[in-house]
Structure 1
Amino acid sequence: MLKVSVGPILYFWPKEQVQRFYEQVARSVADIVYLGETVCPKRRELRLDDYLNQAHMLREAGKEVVLSTMTLLESPADLRELRRYCDNGDFVIEANDMGAVGLLREAGLPFVAGAAINCYNPQALRQLVQFGMQRWLMPVELSREWLSQVLGHPDIEDIRGSFEVEVFAFGHLPLAWSARCFTARSENRAKDQCDLCCIKYPSGRPVYNQEGERLFVLNGIQTQSGDRYNLINDLPGMKGLVDVVRLSPEPEGTLDWLDRFRAADRGEPAAGRGPEDVNGYWHKMAGIVQVS
């Protein structure tokens, strides 16, 4: 049976909303929970100590807890915070940039490699395992066929049992990061005087093309897919390849989708993909495509 994980909250939510969400996750069917700010260091509703408190609560509820690090480090302060995460002494880290991988390797600590680690070939994957990787979140734009080929490569066959494969299976796909803050720019604000305006957009700010189609979602310095990615109908094809499916939190409905994914994995009747959800990347097609 596949494990189901709840990824880090990618959006900027008030502290009380975050705490309520994780109290609900503690009672959910999730096996693994990722905690931490991965997008913007200015989002300080929760500090590391707050996340550690949530982590202990979730672990007491039987969840495996992982602390996720920033994806784009821009200052010495960001590096100091990264070191604090890596030195927490209690919970495994999801490394979202190679700086974190380097720190964890030096300390001899196991880690999860996030999707932003550009791992596109079996040689790079093997190197990460040698560095201490115990779980790998596949880059979101890659396909089932690609995954099958990589895992069947001679460089991987002998180490396949030493790491888990995780797939981003639900949510708006994180596609790119930039030193610019697109949400602030959309409000004609400078990045340094953003007033944390992204807290007004709990599921990001949509961007439409001239035909009125939602093309992207702006989330601070992160650009996401305009359509929601949803692989619930593709779970049968993951057998033997994937160990964990990740659901990215949304303001509403995440826990219902957790139940649906769990039921679908058991082969029980469950509501499938929504009419506007997409799954093209998994099928080696354009990401915006829906494959039935």
Structure 2
Amino acid sequence: MKYALGPILYYWPKKQVEEFYQLAKASNADVIYMGETVCSKRRMLRNGQWLDLAKEVAQTGKQVVLSTMALIESPSELRNMQALVDNGDFIVEANDFSAIDLAKQAKVPFVCGPSVNIYNGSALKLLVKQGMQRWVMPVELGRDWLIRLLDECSNLGIREQFEVEVFAFGHLPLAYSARCFTAQSEGRTKDECETCCIKYPQGRPIVSQEQQRLFRLNGIQTLSNDCYDLINDQASMGGLVDVLRLSPIGIDTIEHLEAFRQQNDKDRPFPTPDTVNGYWHKLAGIRQSEDEA
């Protein structure tokens, strides 16, 4: 099993981003994703700075992947994506089909990110033909579904042609919109948001009419309020999953990555208070599988 640190989904100050990747360099991560995936107005680091940081991290021998935006809304964002694809050193994580098309044209290998809605073997066969090396399963799907899909891929003769990565830790990215919900929650328009999302380093929690915390707002992204954690489910991934992704929610994510590695060899459950793992077990996403015992 390999372990990956996903791209930072939130808008953190530049100093915090650089501190995180200095720790990531010294971590036991096998793969590190880097880049802005949510909003092009977040410019603490620009493309050139991301590339410089990526080269520094890559010197440690880890695989670095440059992540692209999940929603492209302007020609300038498309140009930035093209620059990432043409970087010349690193593969990219394509988070929408425009990035997949650019990677295909440039003959650049890519990872198909979790925001691309892929649910069948025929779609994966097409992506493999276009240059996909790894596929990140959509976050709302689980083990039983993955087994069926990989059986389908075996029948199509492509099972050994790509790796499978599963989102295993963090607030789940559930939906995207052209609207900026964080700005709207502060009574701002998207054009005059003043990048207020920087005030919410793990997204802004919101409650239902019944006062239950269900989601977090992160710009155009809606996340789960509860943290997803599959640390105790690794034994059920044997023969199915090649890479586990931990989505950074703070500096302590680095420590949790080490806990994942250690827990992989243990039978005793790791304490996971206030987390959920429902989707992996074909339950409602807000559930913890032990609730069914």
Question: Which structure 2 residues correspond to residues 30-179 of structure 1 after superposition, within 5 A?
Answer: 30-153=29-152, 158-179=157-178
4+ residue runs over 6 A deviation: none
Question: Does the Cα contact within 8 Å between 1:126 and 1:155 map onto a contact in 2?
Answer: no
Secondary structure of 1:192's aligned partner: coil
* Structure 2 letter corresponding to 1:250: I
Q: Which residue of 1 aligns with 2:283?
A: 285
Q: Which residue of 2 aligns with 1:209?
A: 208
Once the two structures are superposed, what CA deviation does each residue of 1:208-265 show, in whole Å capped at 9, x if it has no partner?
A: 1233321100000100011111111110000000000000001241011101101012
User: What's the C-alpha RMSD, in Å, of the aligned pairs?
Assistant: 1.3
* Structure 2 letter corresponding to 1:232: I
Alpha-carbon distance in 2 for matches of 1:14, 1:105: 33
* Structure 1 letter corresponding to 2:77: D
Alpha-carbon distance in 2 for matches of 1:238, 1:81: 36
Question: Does the Cα contact within 8 Å between 1:119 and 1:125 map onto a contact in 2?
Answer: yes
Could you tell me the TM-score, scaled by structure 2's length? Answer: 0.96
Alpha-carbon distance in 1 for matches of 2:194, 2:29: 34
Q: CA deviation at 1:158?
A: 2.1
Once the two structures are superposed, what CA deviation does each residue of 1:98-118 show, in whole Å capped at 9, x if it has no partner?
A: 001011111112100001111
Secondary structure of 1:118's aligned partner: coil
Question: Does the Cα contact within 8 Å between 2:36 and 2:67 map onto a contact in 1?
Answer: yes
Alpha-carbon distance in 2 for matches of 1:238, 1:154: 17
Relative to structure 1, the CA distance from residue 168 to residue 154 in structure 2 (aligned partners, 3 Å threshold; closer, same or farther) is: closer
Q: Which residue of 2 aligns with 1:254?
A: 253
Unaligned runs of 5+ in 2: none
Alpha-carbon distance in 2 for matches of 1:59, 1:83: 21
Aligned residues: 290
Relative to structure 1, the CA distance from residue 154 to residue 219 in structure 2 (aligned partners, 3 Å threshold; closer, same or farther) is: closer
Relative to structure 1, the CA distance from residue 213 to residue 30 in structure 2 (aligned partners, 3 Å threshold; closer, same or farther) is: same
Percentage of matched positions with identical amino acids: 56
* Structure 2 letter corresponding to 1:280: G
* Structure 2 letter corresponding to 1:276: D
Once the two structures are superposed, what CA deviation does each residue of 1:23-61 show, in whole Å capped at 9, x if it has no partner?
A: 000001110000000000000000111111111111111
Question: Does the Cα contact within 8 Å between 1:29 and 1:259 map onto a contact in 2?
Answer: yes
Question: Does the Cα contact within 8 Å between 2:40 and 2:77 map onto a contact in 1?
Answer: yes
Question: Does the Cα contact within 8 Å between 2:68 and 2:95 map onto a contact in 1?
Answer: yes
Once the two structures are superposed, what CA deviation does each residue of 1:254-292 show, in whole Å capped at 9, x if it has no partner?
A: 0111011010123376733x2210011111111001102
Q: Which residue of 1 aligns with 2:227?
A: 228
Question: Does the Cα contact within 8 Å between 2:121 and 2:156 map onto a contact in 1?
Answer: no
Q: Which residue of 2 aligns with 1:15?
A: 14
Q: Which moved more, 1:55-64 or 1:231-240?
A: 55-64
Secondary structure of 1:153's aligned partner: helix
Relative to structure 1, the CA distance from residue 120 to residue 182 in structure 2 (aligned partners, 3 Å threshold; closer, same or farther) is: same
Unaligned runs of 5+ in 1: none
Once the two structures are superposed, what CA deviation does each residue of 1:84-143 show, in whole Å capped at 9, x if it has no partner?
A: 001001100000000010111111121000011110011111111111100000000011
Relative to structure 1, the CA distance from residue 226 to residue 156 in structure 2 (aligned partners, 3 Å threshold; closer, same or farther) is: farther
Q: Which moved more, 1:157-166 or 1:279-288?
A: 157-166
* Structure 1 letter corresponding to 2:186: E
